[in-house]
Amino acid sequence: MRKYLSGVIILALLTMIVSACGSGDSSSSSSSNTGTSSDTTQTTDQPKDGGNLIIGVAADPVILNPNYAGDRVSLTIDQALYAPLFQVNNGKKTFYLADSLEPSADKLTYTLKLKSGLTWHDGEKLTADDVVFTIDKILDEKQNSMLRGNFIIGGKPIQAVKVDDTTVEFKLPQVSPAFEATLVQVTPIPKHIFENEADIEKSPKNNTPVGSGPFKFKEYKTGEYVTLDRFDNYFGGKPHLDSITYRISKDANASNLALQNGEINMKYVDPQDAATIESTGNFEMKNYSEGRLSYLIFNENSDTGLLAKKEVREALSYALNREELIQVAYTSPDYADPAKSFVTPDGLYHDNNVTTYDNDVNKAKELLQANGATGKKLRIIVSGGNKAQEAIALYVQQKLKDVGVEVEIQSMDASAYSTKFTDPKATDYELAVGGYIMGFDPDAYSILYTSGSDSNYTHYSDKEVDQLFTQGASEADDAKRGEIYKKLQEKIASDAVIYPIAYTKTIVAVDKKFGGLDEAVLKPVVIFEDPSKLYLK
């Protein structure tokens, strides 16, 4: 959840997708064996231009615009359609549209240099005007951007100023250690396409997107597929593949069968299915940490009002057992580590040594009885076909039944679930199973936990939390900043805002006919950072 939820993402939306392994600038190479006789060079798995990669996805994209996308499918497709300014992997920047980003001595101005000769898919020039336009629209309250809050520092907006066609200066109202982590979330959108649109998020121009990434939009057939063609003028070099097709398959079992039959070449695989897929011998299984938190959300805004009580949230948490949940949902601790903090282990100042409520049935019953929740009915929403979510929901249903609470499971397709989960006005459920990926700087989490944020899906509100996030965003001293975020982690944990389940690992199955996986760089949410590097062997 980028709003990453990645967002949720979230899903969320958001965004907030920073850490991965490797470098996007790697290239394949051949190996040589040298002896006393004539030298021989043997090459294997060399790139072949041409071919189509078919990726299985679980739902239709919600929106093909990177600055509004929060679901995994939209973000994955947008990664091929739109190029970012830069990315960060293991603390090291990989520049894409940008050539450099340099702070001033006082850290109040950041100068971004774009590569020269950049173009959009329609042939129009991509310049500093597009970057400034993108930032201005993020800051425009009428545009309802999920990223807006991260560009407000100390109550004042960051300013993006064009210096020349390839140079933009970002002027900060005060020092912000989180600024680069905020900027890495931004993907420029074309000014000439959107400048006259009153509501970019709802613009029909998102249906035929014009991007700057390695692949350009060709066709979208709802419920079936999205197809992108190679963009020959991609600044990173002409991609190897002719096209990428995202095949929409909402049924996980049918999708797995299509994978094994060769109708799909790549997809995410649930832990429950990994052994079966791997046993065919036809797939390379890529397991990696996305910096993702799997969690149970407590919707304090539900029309029953029950979850607004901290004691009820504590009681529901006490009824559960984190280790059991991991086994049920992820089959093995190899695929998930127990989570207690809302910050993931890849994030700065992560602290899993915080208050937790779990595995105390008697305490759960006592708190439920004292707060009038015994015998009540709760509704939990899940994304149908997501085996981990479905397993978690069934477990929660049984465990809460044991303490006197009935749970109704509402399963819906991934698109409907994302819409419901991210709707700030949704009051017709109490519980939801979700996950998010927020990146390495904890300031990104502010959109999830501060009062009134559009991405605050719990509807939790606490003035101390709001103040701590504000302080953390502008504190330049690293030790002091660390203490602020440790306080935040303890405060949110002790208030039982969510029930953290696990920091999960992601499994991707890739047909062995395809190479360039390391060069393309496995990336949270979007599978690959630079799909131009993928090729048929």
For the cut 80, the answer to whether the pLDDT of residue 393 exceeds it is: yes
* pLDDT of 372 above 80: yes
Predicted confidence at residue 134, as pLDDT, reads: 98
pTM: 0.77
pLDDT for 202: 96
Read off the pLDDT of residues 311-336 as tens digits, 9 standing for 90 and up: 999 999 999 999 999 999 999 888 99
Q: What is the tens place of the pLDDT at every residue in 6-48?
A: 333 344 333 333 333 333 333 333 333 333 333 333 445 788 8
For position 424, what pLDDT does the model report? 87
- 217-274 pLDDT per residue, tens: 999 999 999 999 999 999 999 999 999 999 999 888 999 999 999 999 999 998 889 9
Instruction: Give residues with Cβ within 8 angstroms of 38, minimum separation 6.
Output: none
Contacts of residue 526, Cβ cutoff 8 Å, sequence gap at least 6 = 17, 72, 75, 76, 78, 79
Residue given tokens 């797939």 in the structure block: 283
% pLDDT > 70, the chain: 92
β-pairing verdict for 92-95 and 86-89: antiparallel
**For residue 422, what pLDDT band results from cuts at 50, 70 and 90?**
confident
Residue 476 is predicted with a pLDDT of 86
* 332-351 tens-digit pLDDT: 888 999 999 999 999 999 99
- Domains of the chain and CATH, by start: 83-248+289-506 (3.10.105.10)
| Residue 328 CB burial class (10 angstroms; 0-12, 13-18, ≥19) | middle
Letter string b/e over residues 331-348, b meaning 16 or more CB atoms within 10 A of that residue's CB: beeebbbbbbbbbbebbb
